[in-house]
Amino acid sequence: MKNSSLSIAATLVILLLLFSVAKAEGTSITSIIDFESLPDGAFVTEVKSGYGLSGMDVPGSISIVAVNPARRDLNAAMIFNAECPGKCSGNDVSLEAGEAGKTLIVSADFDPSDPDSADLTSLVFDFDFSKW
- What tens digit of pLDDT does each residue of 122-132 get? 778 899 999 98
More confident: 78 or 14? 78
Percentages helix, strand, coil for the chain (3-state, rounded to 5) are 15, 35, 50
Quick check: 14 and 29 in contact, CB under 8 A?
no
- What tens digit of pLDDT does each residue of 81-97 get? 887 655 665 566 666 66
Tell me: pLDDT of 121 over 70. yes
Average pLDDT in the chain = 76
pLDDT on residue 84: 67
Measured CA to CA, the distance from residue 20 to residue 129 in angstroms comes to: 12
pLDDT on residue 19: 43
pLDDT on residue 60: 93
Predicted TM-score (pTM) of this structure: 0.71
pLDDT on residue 6: 46
pLDDT on residue 64: 96
